[in-house]
Amino acid sequence: MPEVVSKLTDFAAGITAIDADYVRPRLAASHLVIDAGRAAFVDTGTTHSLPNLLGALAAKNIDPADVDWVLATHVHLDHAGGAGALMQALPNARCAVHPRGARHLAEPSKLIAGSIAVYGRERFNSLYGVIVPIPDSRLFVAEEGTVIALGGRQLELIHTPGHALHHYCVVDRAHELIFSGDTFGISYRDFDVDGREFIFPTTTPVHFDPEALCLSVDRLMSYRPRAIYLTHYAEVRDLARLAREMKERVRAYADLGQRYAAAPDRALRLRKSMFAMMSAWLDEHGFPRDDGERHRLLDDDIELNCQGVEVWLDRK
Ligand SMILES: [Zn+2]
């Protein structure tokens, strides 16, 4: 228990961010939401994250039988890779998934193959371990606008394409907050400067769609949230600025892709230029650390984002 407590960050409205221990500290979160003794997880990390999630329940005195929902915002494995293993530990939970994602959780072989194509088999195993399928009977297919109950609160599940076609976000109108998965981008706490948050898009293969993503950001902001909880990582509050920068940066990624679309060394140029562009954003933001630290914090995302931009270019 003591070591799990260091991985928890408590927020208002019964929300706790749990470090999924994915790749490095504070890279990916699962959010635990507690209301009137009932609980939900929003995103689950990977199978390796399970001890932290169950440790968080113990720390909050919640019995696994009192967890009603596992809300998988989308089926990318850093968000839902651990959902099957988690469901085995939660006897009464249902796992809510977008209609386009349901078959991937019930039968994860295609998801596993796709991820091995991105990462290679060895890294896949160390990142994700065993992916446990979820029986159809325990899946709840979240149609657009579905409202579910958690204790005394209502959670609205809205479809938000752009990062992935099978992505939904979780809106809690009464508390004026949203769980955004990857739709509102990435804001690592490592980049905070005097409490000021830094944001950038995640354009992971294979569904990146810049127009749809900007519309989804607008849709989230139309609920006038006071806080958004990102899987990467946890709470952000300076939402008007972050939404504006997020959309500018989505368009900047798309423009960068188009600039190099026909270049013979497209892959290399895209990666170098994306690092330079993001480093300039960090300069503007006042981030004081050097290139070595910037590469350490950004290179995995730059690789994924460039792969996603290239898939988008090839689809166009
Ligand atoms: Zn994702």
Res. 209: pLDDT tops 90? yes
Q: How far is the CA of 192 from the centre of ligand 1 (A)?
A: 22
2 Cα: distance to centroid of ligand 1 (angstroms): 30
SS (H, E, C) the chain: CHHHHCCEEECCCCEEEEECCCCCCCCCEEEEEEECCEEEEECCCCHHHHHHHHHHHHHCCCCHHHEEEEECCCCCHHHHCCHHHHHHHCCCCEEEECCCCHHHHHCCHHHHHHHHHHHCHHHHHHHHCCCCCCCHHHEEECCCCEEEEECCEEEEEEECCCCCCCCEEEEECCCCEEEEECCCCECCHHHCECCECCCECCCCCCCCCHHHHHHHHHHHHHCCCCEEEECCCEEECCHHHHHHHHHHHHHHHHHHHHHCCCCCCHHHHHHHHHHHHHHHHHHHHCCCCCHHHHHHHHHHHHHHHHHHHHHHHHHC
> Mean pLDDT in the chain?
97
CA–centroid distance, 106 to ligand 1, in Å, is 18
- pLDDT, average across residues 276-305: 98
Whole-model pTM?
0.97
What's the CA-to-centroid distance between 195 and ligand 1, angstroms? Answer: 25
5-19, 31-45, 118-132: the lowest-pLDDT one? 118-132
